[in-house]
Amino acid sequence: MALARDIMTPSPQCVGEDQTLSEAARLLASLDIGVLPICGDDQKLIGMLTDRDIVVKALAEGLDPTTTTAGSLAAGKPVYVQAADDVQQAMDLMKEHQVRRIPVIEDHRLVGIISQADIALTAPAKQTGRTVEQISE
């Protein structure tokens, strides 16, 4: 099977850990996506931020999106794969953690993202179907 680097979408856009949620929301809207990696100044991954995180963890709790930073919503250790990992590893982690996208790391830096669509374009249809089904449980 292919390696993570072979199927990832390269050079993902990050939101900086010190950028506000308002800035993150504008970036999500301009890129027409629902999730962004949160990166430190060194481009190392510190978490993932979804549009749902902004609404549920910030706005619904009364946090000010113009002063609350993306990094403040980064919780726990981010789930990721190494660029040299087999795609099956990415699929297994996506199923285990119920995520539709997984960051790809190389030399401790974010280099790509693998989405369900990336898997669908490369994996056999039956395997893709099972993975999507298990992620969506």
Q: What CATH number has the domain bearing residue 24?
A: 3.10.580.10
137 band by pLDDT with thresholds 50, 70 and 90 = low
Helices 87-97 and 125-135, axial angle in degrees (round to 10): 30
pLDDT tens digits along 78-117: 899 999 999 999 999 999 998 989 999 999 899 999 998 8
State how far the Cα of 59 lies from the Cα of 56, in Å rounded to an integer.
6
Lowest mean pLDDT among 74-78, 103-107, 126-130: 126-130
- Report the number of secondary-structure helices (H) and strands (E) in the chain: 6, 7
Q: What range does the domain containing 128 cover?
A: 4-135
Average pLDDT over residues 13-39: 95
By C-alpha distance, which of 85, 86, 112, 88 is closest to 101? 112
- The domain total for the chain is 1
